Amino acid sequence: MSFSKSLEYGGHALVWSGDWTPEGARKAISGAARAGYDYIEIALLDPWKVDVVLTKDLLQEFNLRAHASLGLSAGTDVTSTNLAIVAKGDELLRKATDVLYAIGGTELCGVIYCALGKYPGPASKENRSNSVAAMQRLADYAADKGINIDLEVVNRYETNIMNTGLEGLAFLDEVNRPNAYLHLDTYHMNIEEDGMETSVLAAKDRLGYVHIGESHRGYLGTGNVNFDSFFNALKKINYQGPITFESFSSEVVDPNLSNTLCVWRNLWHDSDDLATKALLFMKERY
């Protein structure tokens, strides 16, 4: 079964903190709450290092919810033809699901169906079928914990499995699980899509999660993403689900994710100003 979603606004933890130490977690959660967000999106790249009790206490202290995202690496790539690597990927995804469940979250999103990075060639039929099977296993495991999985469509330099929303929907057809949804990100759509509406309108109620990011991943409205078109499409399908503001700058660095995403430029330095203006920007349009 699928699990209910509601319209809510969140901020990615890397807007405030590059780590999830006690200090980093407090900075991120308090920052998201101060800016007026409903939830924070935590990057569970290494869920074994997350202090679940501390995180739950902080979320309760600041009256905030949490969802989670991650991207797989070469050593956990579930598209791999090496079964040991696939098993490592399964293990990581299950652990992330366990942590998300423990902190009360219901949405696991991101590039959870392959490694996050540039592949040397197209995906083979075996790569794709391995990915589909892994998502079926993950969806079933997550369903037992009341969690939806949201598969993020990203650009050609970060996956060879699906680069447009329409490709993502075809992949979801193969996964064929009621708690598996499409996850669209305006930053990636701006690179790959023929406009900002087509995939949203095609997805309808299969769109389960949204990332709002500018073309340069800085302040919203200062790049070239057509946000009006995107939010108009959300209105047409009456989207009801999480909307996360995602922005990266060399001001706040996670050594692994920042390098993977090629975050070299300092696009902002004031997290609070950035996050507050982003929430206003989104709510003015939706």
Of the candidates 123, 128, 201, the one whose C-alpha atom is nearest the C-alpha of residue 156 is: 123
- pLDDT tens digits for range 73-119: 999 999 999 999 999 999 999 999 999 999 999 999 999 999 999 99
- How far apart CA 142 and CA 135 sit, in angstroms, is 10
User: Active-site residues: which are they?
Assistant: 152, 246
pLDDT of residue 252: 62
pLDDT, tens digit, for every residue of 189-244?
999 999 999 999 999 999 999 999 999 999 999 999 999 999 999 999 999 999 99
- What percent helix, strand, coil does the chain show, rounded to 5? 45, 15, 35
Name the average pLDDT for the chain.
94
Residue 158: pLDDT above 80?
Answer: yes
pLDDT band per the 50, 70, 90 thresholds, residue 269: confident
State pTM to two decimals: 0.95
Note the pLDDT of residue 265.
65
- Kindly report the number of other CB atoms within 10 A of residue 106's CB atom: 22
pLDDT at 1: 63
DSSP string, 3-68: -----EEEEEGGGT-SS-SHHHHHHHHHHHHHHT-SEEEEE-SSGGG--HHHHHHHHHHTT-EEEE
- Using the predicted structure, report yes or no on whether residue 123 has a pLDDT greater than 80: yes
